[in-house]
């Protein structure tokens, strides 16, 4: 049981495995860390290394997370794994962190940790993720230039390969394939809205008439499965 808990936590905290905005609010995943604490395994070398991996990567990403675990009786303030949003915002009390994490946190407070991207890029990604997480009026929003300009700017900033962007893209495409999207003649100008910029052509994706070869691989697979 001990080794299983530790191995699960170590796997979760590997940067390629941790899907930041989603796993950071996943109760079951962070119960693993809570159980590690309850079994007094915090000082295990593998646990400390995984913790450090997680905190360092989050601080480098420099992105806001949704506050989720805000009940103090259930999620104590000194159990830092419930409060990643505050750690990312650098508003978490550093004295509540164990020493091996406090060092990297103090560096972040001093601006000594290089961010993966700047605050403007971070806000772009955050806006796109929020849109794709809650596409309540997708049929309408799919033809809303202001929102889709966000995805265009993400592309112009060279952020297409960012983990959060790709997860958001996938969520959006899944909904479009299920529900469709309103067509719009606003995006007919091929100079302004290139056909290989798929976000301008959600209606065609919903109709399954969009050329699959123009989609990035991570979207192409789900598109072909639903054609």
Percentage with pLDDT > 70 across the chain:
81
Report the pLDDT averaged over residues 55-77: 71
Kindly list the domain boundaries of the chain, sorted by start residue.
Answer: 2-109, 119-226
Q: Are 206 and 176 a contacting pair, CB within 8 Å?
A: yes
Higher pLDDT, 160 or 67: 160
Report the pLDDT averaged over residues 134-142: 60
pTM, to two decimals: 0.53
pLDDT tier, 223 (very low <50, low <70, confident <90, very high otherwise): very high
pLDDT of 71 > 80? The answer is no
The per-residue pLDDT of the chain, averaged, comes to 82
> Could you give the CA distance from residue 44 to residue 9 in angstroms, rounded to a whole number?
12
Residue closest to 135 by CA, chosen among 189, 108, 97, 174: 174
Contacts (Cβ under 8 Å, ≥6 apart) of 134:
none
Question: What's the confidence (pLDDT) of residue 133?
Answer: 76
Residue closest to 99 by CA, chosen among 59, 24, 56, 48: 48
Question: What's the confidence (pLDDT) of residue 34?
Answer: 93
pLDDT tens string 169-206: 998 898 888 888 877 777 778 778 889 999 999 989 99
Report the pLDDT averaged over residues 142-162: 81
Question: What's the confidence (pLDDT) of residue 19?
Answer: 55
Neighbours of 125 (CB within 10 A): 24
The tally of CA atoms less than 13 A away on the side-chain side of residue 183 is 7
The token pair that represents 92 in the structure block: 């978490």
Q: Are 99 and 117 a contacting pair, CB within 8 Å?
A: no
pLDDT tens string 81-136: 988 888 888 899 999 999 999 989 998 888 877 665 566 777 788 888 888 876 55
């Amino acid at each position: 049981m001990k080794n299983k808990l530790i191995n699960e936590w170590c796997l979760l905290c590997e940067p390629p495995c941790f899907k930041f905005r989603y796993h950071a609010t996943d109760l079951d995943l962070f119960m693993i860390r809570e159980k590690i604490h309850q079994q007094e395994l915090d000082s295990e070398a593998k646990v400390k290394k995984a913790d450090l991996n997680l905190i360092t990567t989050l601080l480098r990403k420099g992105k806001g997370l949704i506050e989720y675990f805000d009940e103090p009786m259930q999620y104590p303030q000194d159990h830092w794994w419930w409060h990643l949003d505050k750690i990312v915002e650098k508003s978490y009390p550093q004295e509540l962190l164990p020493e091996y994490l406090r060092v990297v946190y103090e560096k972040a407070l001093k601006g000594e940790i290089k961010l993966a991207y700047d605050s403007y890029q971070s806000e772009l990604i955050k806006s796109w993720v929020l849109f794709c997480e809650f596409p309540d009026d997708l049929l309408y929003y799919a033809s809303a230039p202001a929102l889709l300009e966000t995805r265009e700017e993400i592309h112009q900033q060279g952020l297409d390969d960012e983990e959060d962007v790709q997860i958001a893209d996938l969520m959006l495409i899944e909904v479009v394939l299920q529900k469709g999207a309103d067509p719009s003649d606003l995006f007919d100008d091929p100079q302004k809205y290139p056909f290989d910029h798929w976000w301008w052509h959600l209606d065609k994706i919903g109709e399954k008439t969009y050329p699959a070869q123009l989609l990035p691989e991570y979207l192409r697979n789900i598109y072909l499965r639903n054609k």
